[in-house]
């Protein structure tokens, strides 16, 4: 047993307190506003005996590493000891807290390289060798022998043996190597000096790992070779210094003594407790935790050490302010140490809960969801606050139309726009609730707004007087405009209604027939209005010749006829004046006459009302499939 100072006793007592703290028992009391816990004295009053960690007095170990040697650029043959792996072992005696000695043996196998001309060619000659190192070093440690972490510096001296292998000797004494004049090569031991630094880390009581880096300075070995020569002789100039760096790491085993201490522990107070001003709170004002020392002795000087979630949170004051800006459960710990006797009271931690802010939620409904353009609907939000919410507010947005008010809101569909084809639109009204802490949530209300479908009119097909043949301008309208719109455009689900017109026209007789009687017969038998409508339908439906393929399904084609002066106003096509026509198909009449020499074209949604000029329209006959008009 040996004596220790008062300061040392205090430090040792503090260490023992940490070790024994795990054995403490305590009780705690929770409520929604306060949490209190009392202390356990560590160590308990009386006599305490404990041991320090085992001293590392002796060591033995092994290591592996690598050796790197400096190239000698001043040597004409640029002799070099090439890098190599190494292995070895050591024993050490740590005779004071910070000083020790170490005896090391290491072995490496590398090559000695010469750069020389041989046979008129510059070549590398590699001589394999074994390198043996015997070192005795003095170590200075930066920590004591009981520390598990011991960095150190070292310096020492010893002998390095450079021994060419037998294979190398055999090669150099062969007849082929005679010009090298190296048959006398031999082992050459040299004095060497080492210096460096390292670190030892104890993993368990008797075992640890170490790593180090150190430099080697030695006399340059000559191996019994000449000190000069001419090519291709191998030689090493006299004198010279060899420099190298060695890096290694390994495992070591350690033995040593243990020290036992006995301390008299005094009671500085009866107990310590702490209490919190609140618990289960929302983010906001800090929670105050207060420590109370009961039965404090006159000599006691308590030092308060606080922790929050295991991290140091202050010392000296008996009060701790705990911020509430981080949600979750927080462990508040307290240790009170008497500055004189080092008596320690550890208060088991209390748990403070700071509730997290969660955003609000919301749903929304409407008194009706199917509307006609111009209708209104009442929108009702149903917000629900989250935890720690603050004040809630609701706002509405809408993808089309307008919305006013909040709870409830009024949706107005009057401003929803539709094309001429009418249809429906899906409208989304979104209610968003926001609380005063920044949390928000949204809920949609899906509305359907419908508009009355409208019939869509195309340009008229114009015919010459007394003629029912569709001319080039008419074909362009039917093939390039009407057919694509009915098959792949926005009117793919519409029917097409063809309204044929005829006026008081003189009908030419069929080819090969002349005279007044023939003209009278043609006028009696001809129905130009129907023929014009049927010829127009044939271009859309036949799918033959120049007509587009496939044709329009005849179930989608409706035909009607009207007499002179009836039907919608004339819609003359632009191409009527720009496309060159056959002589018989040219249009020369005035617009007043053309009103009775045309076919109206309407796109009508299925099931919708017919345009006024097509009242009584009938489905086109099967004969429109017969052929494509020329």
Structural domains of the chain, with CATH: 25-42+268-354 (2.60.40.10), 58-255 (2.40.160.20), 361-451 (2.60.40.10), 456-625 (3.30.1330.60)
Using CA atoms, how far residue 72 sits from 113, 220, 223, in Å, is 11, 10, 16
Residues of the chain with pLDDT > 90, as a percent, come to: 23
Sheet containing strand 287-294, strands side by side: 28-30, 35-38, 271-276, 287-294, 319-322
Average of per-residue pLDDT across 502-531: 61
Given a cut of 70, whether residue 16 has pLDDT beyond it is: no
Q: Could you tell me if 221 and 185 are in contact, meaning their C-beta atoms sit under 8 angstroms apart?
A: no
- Nearest 5°: the CA angle 113, 114, 117 is 145
CB-based burial label for 423 (10 Å; 0-12, 13-18, 19+): middle
Q: Give the residue from 265, 347, 340 showing the smallest Cα distance to 303.
A: 340
Q: What element of type H or E holds 426?
A: strand 423-435
Q: What's the mean per-residue pLDDT of the chain?
A: 81
Q: 306-352: per-residue pLDDT in tens?
A: 988 888 887 778 888 888 888 888 888 888 888 777 778 888 888 88
- How many Å apart are CA 570 and CA 461, to the nearest integer? 10
In the predicted model, is pLDDT for residue 80 greater than 80? no
CA distances from 290 to 195, 269, 331 (A): 57, 17, 15
H or E stretch at 15 = helix 6-20
Geometric angle at alpha carbon 247, from 166 and 158, rounded to 5°: 60
558 forms bridges with which residues in the sheet? 497, 619
Return the ∠ at Cα 262 (arms to 258 and 263), rounded to 5°.
Answer: 135
Q: Is the confidence at residue 518, as pLDDT, over 50?
A: no
Q: Is the pLDDT of residue 13 over 50?
A: no
Check residues 107 and 466 and name the one with the higher pLDDT. 107
* pLDDT score at 510: 57
Most confident option among 174-183, 207-216, 549-558: 207-216
What distance in Å separates the CA atoms of residue 462 and residue 597, rounded to the nearest whole number? Answer: 6
**pLDDT for 27:** 28
For the purposes of burial, counting CB atoms within 10 Å of the CB of 95, is it exposed (0-12), middle (13-18) or buried (19 or more)? exposed
Facing residues of 151 across strands? 199
Q: Secondary structure of the chain: what % helix, strand, coil (to 5)?
A: 15, 45, 40
Map tokens 């003359």 to a residue: 572
Nearest to 82 by CA among 104, 115, 105: 115
Does 525 or 322 have the greater pLDDT score? 322
pLDDT band at 263 (very low <50, low <70, confident <90, very high): low
Can you give the pLDDT at residue 583? 67
Integer Cα distance of 93 and 101 in angstroms: 5
Instruction: Give the pLDDT confidence score for residue 230 in this predicted structure.
Output: 79
Answer whether residue 462 shows pLDDT above 50.
Answer: yes
**Interval 477-501: pLDDT, tens:** 888 889 998 887 778 888 999 999 9
Sole residue written with tokens 């047993």: 1
Edge-to-edge strand ranges of the sheet holding 311-315: 40-42, 344-354, 328-338, 302-308, 311-315
Cα 232 to the chain's mean position, in Å? 65
d(CA 411, CA 388): 32
Alpha-carbon distance of 422 to 492, in angstroms, equals 14
Confidence (pLDDT) at 92: 94
Asked if residue 2 has pLDDT above 60, the reply is: no
d(C-alpha 43, C-alpha 17), whole Å: 6
Residue 272: phi and psi, rounded to 5, are -130, 140
Question: Using one digit for the tens of pLDDT, what is the confidence trace for 117-143?
Answer: 666 677 777 888 999 999 999 999 999
More confident residue, 5 or 68: 68
Structure tokens belonging to residue 166: 């037998």
* H or E stretch at 171: helix 166-172
Taking the CB of residue 170, how many other CB atoms lie within 10 A of it? 10
CA distances (Å), 288 to each of 33, 318, 481, in order? 11, 11, 82
Structure tokens at 241: 């210094």
The whole-number pLDDT of residue 568 equals 85
Q: What is the mean pLDDT of residues 264-272?
A: 76
Residue 404, helix vs strand vs coil:
strand
Compute the distance between CA of residue 204 and CA of residue 56 in angstroms, rounded to an integer: 12
């Amino acid at each position: 047993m040996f004596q220790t100072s008062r300061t040392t006793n205090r430090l040792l007592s503090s260490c023992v307190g940490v070790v024994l703290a795990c054995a403490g028992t305590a009780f705690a009391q929770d409520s929604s506003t306060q949490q209190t816990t009392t202390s356990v004295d560590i160590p308990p009053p009386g006599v305490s005996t404990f041991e320090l960690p085992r001293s590392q007095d002796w060591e033995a170990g092994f290591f592996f590493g690598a050796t790197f040697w400096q190239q000698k650029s001043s040597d004409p043959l640029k002799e070099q000891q090439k890098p190599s792996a190494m292995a070895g072992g050591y024993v050490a005696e740590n005779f004071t807290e910070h000083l020790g000695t170490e005896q090391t043996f290491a072995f490496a196998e590398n090559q000695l390289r010469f750069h020389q001309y041989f046979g008129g060619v510059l070549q590398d000659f590699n001589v394999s060798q074994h390198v043996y190192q015997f070192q005795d070093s003095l170590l200075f440690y930066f920590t004591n022998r009981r520390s598990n972490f011991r960095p150190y510096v070292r310096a020492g001296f010893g002998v390095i043996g450079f021994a060419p292998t037998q294979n190398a000797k055999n090669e150099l004494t062969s007849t082929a190597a005679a010009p090298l004049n190296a048959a006398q090569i031999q082992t050459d031991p040299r004095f060497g000096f080492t210096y460096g630094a390292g670190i030892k880390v104890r993993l368990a009581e008797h075992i640890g790992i170490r790593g180090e880096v150190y430099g080697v300075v030695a006399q340059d070995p000559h191996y019994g070779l000449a000190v000069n020569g001419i090519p291709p002789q191998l030689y090493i100039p006299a004198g010279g210094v060899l420099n190298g760096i060695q890096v290694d790491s390994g495992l070591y085993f350690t033995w040593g003594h243990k020290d036992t201490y006995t301390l008299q522990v005094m009671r500085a107070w009866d107990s310590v407790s702490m209490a919190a001003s609140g618990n289960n709170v929302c983010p906001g004002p800090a929670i105050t935790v207060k420590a109370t020392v009961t039965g404090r002795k006159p000599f006691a000087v308590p030092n308060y050490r606080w922790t929050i979630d295991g991290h140091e949170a202050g010392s000296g004051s008996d009060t701790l302010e705990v911020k509430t800006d981080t949600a979750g459960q927080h462990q508040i710990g307290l240790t009170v140490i008497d500055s004189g006797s080092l008596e320690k009271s550890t208060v088991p931690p209390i748990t403070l809960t700071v509730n997290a802010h969660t955003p609000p939620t919301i749903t929304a409904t409407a008194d009706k969801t199917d509307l006609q353009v111009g209708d209104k609907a009442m929108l009702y939000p149903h917000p629900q606050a989250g935890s720690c919410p603050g004040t809630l507010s609701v706002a509405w947005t809408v993808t089309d139309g307008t919305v006013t008010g909040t709870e409830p809101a009024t949706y107005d569909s009057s401003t929803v726009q539709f094309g001429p084809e009418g249809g429906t639109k899906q409208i989304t009204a979104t209610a968003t609730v926001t609380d005063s802490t920044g949390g928000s949530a949204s809920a949609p209300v899906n509305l359907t707004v419908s508009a009355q479908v409208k019939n869509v009119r195309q340009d008229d097909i114009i015919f010459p007087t007394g003629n029912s043949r569709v001319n080039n301008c008419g074909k362009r309208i039917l093939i390039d405009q009407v057919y694509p719109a009915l098959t792949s455009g926005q009117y793919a689900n519409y029917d097409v209604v063809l309204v044929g017109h005829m006026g008081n026209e003189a009908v030419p007789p069929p080819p090969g027939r002349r005279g007044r009687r023939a003209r009278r017969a043609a006028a009696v038998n001809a129905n130009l209005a129907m023929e014009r409508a049927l010829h127009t339908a044939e271009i859309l439906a036949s799918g033959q010749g120049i007509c587009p393929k496939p044709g329009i399904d005849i179930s989608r084609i409706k035909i009607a006829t009207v007499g002179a002066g009836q039907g919608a106003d004339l819609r003359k096509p632009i191409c009527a004046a720009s496309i060159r026509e056959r002589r018989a198909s040219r249009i020369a009449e005035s617009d007043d006459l053309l009103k009775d020499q045309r076919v109206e074209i309407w796109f009508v949604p299925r099931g919708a009302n017919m345009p006024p000029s097509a009242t009584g329209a009938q489905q086109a006959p099967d004969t429109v499939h017969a052929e494509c008009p020329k």
